[in-house]
Amino acid sequence: MKVVIVGGVAGGATAAARIRRRDEQAEIVVFERSGFISYANCGLPYYIGGVITDQNELTLQTPESFYERFRVDMRVHHEVTALHPERKTVSVTNLQTGEQWEEPYDKLLLSPGAKPAQPRLPGVGLENLFTLRTVEDTLRIRRFLDTHHPKSAVLAGGGFISLEMAENLRRSGMEVTIVQRPKQLMNPFDPEMAAFIHAEMRKHGVQLALGHTVEGFEEKDGGIDVLLKDAAPLHADMVVLAIGVTPDSRLAQDAGLETGIKGSIVVNDRMETSAPDIYAVGDAVQVRHFVTGQDALISLAGPANKQGRIAADNICGDDKHYHGSQGSSVVQVFEMTAAATGVNETNAKKAGLSVDKVILSPMNHAGYYPGGKLMTIKVVFEQQTYRLLGAQIVGYDGVDKRIDVLATAIRAGLKATDLAELDLAYAPPYSSAKDPVNMAGFMVENIANGLVRQWYLEDEAALPRDGSVTLLDARTEAEYAAGHIDGFVNIPVDALRERLDEIPLWKPVYLICQSGLRSYIAARILASHGYDCYNFAGGYRLYETAKLDRCLIEQATACGMDR
């Protein structure tokens, strides 16, 4: 059996190694357009920033090492220019010599990945304007930094690459601005959770121009002007386009293979395309979202590796199935960690799901153990069924551990109420006896049992201030004095039982505290005395962060960046 693989990196290289482990006699040829067949794509910004100092550390395997271990014919600087399914060949060009030929195959695996989105804007292609996707892109940016020593950069886009680049460039002393059409960074997060990411970026001097559309680029004064719609240009010494990626599916499209979202390659759950004996994996393929069941594009290394393994097994005669991607991800944002899995509330509603949520701010480990830090967790679940839909966490130590627990729970089909029963490891330096994931489960369980009803950030503006409801802040007097929501009166939870006569029994009561715990206790006290109570999801800490973020974004709209 002869297997031809188009593209290396996560999907293609994984498949090649797996096929060899399954079939020692198979002839395996990999054609890779770049000069690198297996590299740490996610590590590229950290080489630019000097965190990773050795260029060779980015290369996981060379053609020589791959051949020595697996006897796979890895041909770099070779571009497949056309597919011929009817005669089971591919057209290949050696980019160094110009030689061209047709290579036959028995099985063909496409792993072309994705390419940086290149908007058709004036100025695209300027010398000081970069994209970041390959090792070659990384080396080009690093050479520019080392040679020209730029003092400022504009990053167009607000996803993973942009955040990682912002951190690395900022740590090297550069002035950094992120410009983004949506009014938030990191689309996997809901706006109130993204507000914590924005705060961390601003804390470290990154300027945010959110809600602005880039209309072009112009050379000026040795740098680049980033032209914005209805706002003054942003000037910088360099610009990095990081506005997302699109499937690199031209070969499949030209060969008549079925395509889907943004031209992505359509595959079934065996990673088979619409053409016989042709498989496809990685960022170029359309997948099923594990939570919503809808078609999706999810460009992450983890899914690409799994798809490469499944395709390899099926090429070798198995019947393996890929059950979908749920988009689990984590990113470092200076000292903070942000992670997500499944769908957020915004996308769940877009998918037509009826959703509810809990938001909590637990410590990462036992409160009495030194060094504890808060994290904010949002768990999204389906109303009525309590099916887990997704989770988002922003915080510091322990964020990655909790998101992996929640990702596993989603994959296992657990309900949000089942989180209360998870038996998780505990020692004071690592967690609490009631782990944050358990706490989320307790909160959902209380909702399911009718012990608490919630009100949300989006409800605040519509709360009556005419005296028809009681707005109650259950924090201490000092906390209340430091900042509170207009119209809320302060009765600390520990004084509540003695001051019930101040709260009319016939009025609904809307409660808030710093994190949601004390106001929940207050709600239970009031409910036991016959009051109709609603507890704020997320606490004043969430409210204050989200409100401040919204104000800064609106104020910045006129001038193009945060001030």
Burial of 487 (0-12, 13-18, 19+ CB in 10 A): middle
Rounded to whole angstroms, how far apart are CA atoms 454 and 86? Answer: 60
Rounded to whole angstroms, how far apart are CA atoms 122 and 116? Answer: 17
Strand, helix or coil at 63? helix
Rounded to whole angstroms, how far apart are CA atoms 561 and 540? Answer: 26
Q: Where are the beta strands (DSSP E) in 384-537?
A: 388-395, 454-455, 470-473, 489-490, 509-512, 533-536
> Which whole-number Å values give the CA distances from 234 to 130, 225, 226, 238, 529, in the listed order?
16, 6, 5, 11, 59
* Token pair recorded at residue 316: 């070798």
Strand, helix or coil at 141? helix
Strand, helix or coil at 482? helix
Which of 338, 410, 400, 355 lies closest to 189 in space, CA to CA?
Answer: 338
Letter string b/e over residues 247-264, b meaning 16 or more CB atoms within 10 A of that residue's CB: bbbebbeebebebbeeeb
Strand, helix or coil at 261? helix
Contact present, 88 and 97 (Cβ < 8 Å)? no
Quickly list DSSP for 424-463: ----TTT--SS-HHHHHHHHHHHHHTTS--EE-GGGGGGS
Phi–psi pair at 152, nearest 5 degrees: -145, 155
Q: Which amino acid is at 24?
A: E
DSSP letter assigned to residue 57 = G
Which of 51, 34, 211, 214 lies closest to 124 in space, CA to CA?
Answer: 214
Q: Please give the radius of gyration of the chain, using alpha carbons only, rounded to the nearest integer.
A: 27
**Which residues lie closer than 8 Å to 471 by C-beta, 6 or more apart?**
463, 465, 485, 487, 488, 489, 510
Q: Are strands 38-39 and 59-61 parallel, antiparallel or unpaired?
A: antiparallel
- Known active-site residue 316: no
* Token pair recorded at residue 435: 């782990």
**Helix extents (H) in 172-288:** 191-203, 250-254
Contact present, 280 and 113 (Cβ < 8 Å)? no
Q: Which residues are catalytic?
A: 42
